[in-house]
Amino acid sequence: MQSKINKHEIDKRLTELFMGAFGFEEEEYDYFLSHFTKKLLKKKQIYSTAGSIANSKAYINKGCARTFVVDEDGNEKILYFSFEDFWLCDFESFSTGLPGKHNVEMLEDSELLIISKDDWTKLEKEISKMNQWYIRKVARSAGAMLNRLAEVKVESPEERYISLLKTKPYIFQRVPLKHIAAFLDIQPQSLSRMRKRLIK
């Protein structure tokens, strides 16, 4: 289900976040928000699939998702989890217009704020502050992915598990263990044994 956004439905947290991130004045924020639509997705519903072209991006107002790829053997490899205040988008596909490589599935009933590529491009031209934000956002995303690759290459599964538990404990309250295991690149049974051993 998709509908236009009523400004009065947007909570104070989101207003402060958008205005703070972009440095908007009130009128700029109202204009920015008018280009979004609200979309409700159910748990396990797919937001985007590999091979499709990213013609929009989505801000998670409520809920969470997993972004994953499928290898040649049919195994799912989870790249990252996204929660409130994250953006869902295959940035490479969004920028180049080429087919994306990632799949995105919702892990909870979720509320997304969607903006089309055409509207986003128009706003970037009209509001220069958005370009500055986008450059910072892409740089942070690239840095996070490089750190993730380094962890997989250098750290043991147990080290990755402990690091995740320390830095993002909320993931264990909201994400099924089978998906956490796929994210850590280990079998679910191995994760269960590891958790039991470390609890002792």
| Domain harbouring 17, CATH code | 2.60.120.10
Tell me the per-residue pLDDT of 67-102, one tens digit each, with 9 for 90 and over. Answer: 999 988 888 889 999 999 888 999 889 989 999 999
> What is the model's pLDDT at position 141?
64
- Is residue 149 scored above 70 in pLDDT? no
Q: Are 23 and 84 in contact (CB under 8 A)?
A: no
Read off the pLDDT of each residue in 120-140 and give the average, rounded to a whole number: 76
* Per-residue pLDDT at 148: 62
- Are the beta carbons of 158 and 193 closer than 8 angstroms? no
Is residue 148 situated within a structural domain?
no
The amino acid that residue 181 corresponds to is: A
So what's the pLDDT on residue 157?
82
For residue 150, being part of any structural domain is answered with no
Q: State which residues form the domain around 98.
A: 2-125
Confidence of residue 179 (pLDDT cuts 50, 70, 90): very high
Query: Which pLDDT does position 19 carry in this prediction?
Result: 76
Q: Tell me which residue has tokens 């972009």.
A: 22
161 belongs to a structural domain: no
Q: Tell me, yes or no, whether 57 lies in a domain.
A: yes
Nearest to 82 by CA among 90, 93, 94: 90
Which strand (E) or helix (H) includes residue 195? Answer: helix 188-199
Quick one: CA dihedral 78, 92, 121, 13, positive or negative? positive
Determine the pLDDT at residue 135: 66
Which residue would you say has higher pLDDT here, 95 or 140?
95
Unique residue bearing structure tokens 């909570």: 11
For range 7-13, the mean pLDDT: 65
In a domain, 186, yes or no: no
Query: Structurally, how many domains does the chain consist of?
Result: 1
